[in-house]
Amino acid sequence: MIVTVRMHADEVDIDEALVGRLVAGQFPAWADLPIEPMASSGTDNAMFRLGAELAVRLPRIPGAAKGVAAEQKWVPLLAPHLPVAMPTPVACGGPGEGYPYPWTVCRWLPGANPAVDDLASPEQLAADLAAFITALRRVDPAGAPSSSRGVPLATRDKPTRAAIAASEGLIDTAAVTAVWQDALRLPAWSGRRAWTHADLSPGNLLVHDGRLTAVIDWSIAGVGDPTVDLIVAWNLLPAFARPAFREALGADDDTWHRGRGWALSISLIQLPYYQHTNPALAANSRHVIAEILTDSV
């Protein structure tokens, strides 16, 4: 899906013509390469393919612009430690042509986003995801930025409850409130701070022949409570593949249920906000909420 409607009040208009002018003006060696908008359910950045080997990624909103420098610094440092590919930066562009933010040129990565209801080998994908998360957690966190999602789940209470109120008529608000309240009763993470991607959603994963081949969008990665990376168990993996994923990560009951709370909170906040502007993301949010309600019975 190529998002063509505005998703945010402070969103910048981005199209192929703008990308062409930015590339030609700042990287003239690539000026003659074809530019193609890429299908994505992403909300913070617009992605364009540049020729056969490159991609251009431009923040849509001020908050996303802050992630450009972080990705430029940390992706090359993390990449050698991980078992899958990452979008290695090739160049960093700056404001121009009326566009106000820094932007990235990175290597094009082959593969496709996994489809929740059409996974070639869910158990294998679960194993690949667990191996990726395990490897990421082993990377030395010294000097790394803090993750905005590596925090106690209770910090999400106010926006989550506001989202539940805004979802009246869309979902069973009483049921999700009960699950959310149970999640808030869980003890906070007391383990070692570790690296976390923090946004392991289908749109940030690439697969080929059923195997995980790449993880993209590292703009909110950082260290903290790594529980948030468990969200992929509900936003992508089917119920029968979750036990193996959980076992591979050694998640105890509190950690597993806290991860489920993160998945619920993220999806609850996304659903009313994106229900009219990003159908793919809204559909995945509904999917997660339904899976968690079933899982909680």
Token pair listed for 286 = 């509904």
pLDDT in tens, 113-125: 999 999 999 999 9
Helix (H) or strand (E) holding 127: helix 122-138
Burial class (CB in 10 A: 0-12, 13-18, 19+), 75: buried
On whether the CB atoms of residues 190 and 43 are closer than 8 A, the answer is: no
- The average confidence (pLDDT) of the chain is 95
Unique residue bearing structure tokens 């996974």: 119
Cα 227 vs. chain centroid, distance in angstroms? 14
What distance in Å separates the CA atoms of residue 46 and residue 202, rounded to the nearest whole number?
16
List the end-to-end C-alpha distance of the chain, in Å, as a whole number.
33
Q: Give the pLDDT score at 160.
A: 98
CA distances from 91 to 23, 87, 106, 204 (A): 11, 12, 7, 21
Whole-angstrom Cα distance, residue 153 to residue 156?
Answer: 6
> So what's the pLDDT on residue 4?
59
User: What domains can be seen in the chain, in order of their start residue?
Assistant: 16-107 (3.30.200.20), 122-295 (3.90.1200.10)
Q: What is the pLDDT of residue 275?
A: 93
C-alpha distance from residue 64 to each of 10, 46, 105, 279 (Å): 11, 11, 15, 21
Three-state secondary structure call for residue 74:
helix
Report whether 179 contacts 262 (CB < 8 A): no
Burial 205-233 (b: 16+ CB within 10 A, else e): bbbeeeebbbbbbbbbbbbbbbbbbbbbb
- Residues sharing a CB contact under 8 Å with residue 154, sequence separation 6 or more, in sequence order: 184, 188
Report the candidate in 236, 245, 200, 244 with the shortest Cα–Cα distance to residue 218: 200
CB distance 176 to 248 below 8 Å: no
Q: DSSP characters for 132-191?
A: HHHHHHHS--TTPPBPTTSS-GGGGHHHHHHHHHHTBTTB-HHHHHHHHHHHHTSPPP-S
Token pair listed for 62: 């001020």
| Region at 15 (left for phi over 0; alpha for psi -120 to 50; beta for the rest) | beta
pLDDT in tens, the chain (297 residues): 454 577 888 899 999 999 999 999 999 999 999 999 998 777 899 999 999 999 999 999 998 998 999 999 999 999 999 999 999 999 999 999 999 999 999 999 999 999 999 999 999 999 999 999 999 999 999 999 999 999 999 999 999 999 999 999 999 999 999 999 999 999 999 999 999 999 999 999 999 999 999 999 999 999 999 999 999 999 999 999 999 999 999 999 999 999 999 999 999 999 999 999 999 999 999 999 999 999 876
The letter for the amino acid at 84 is: V
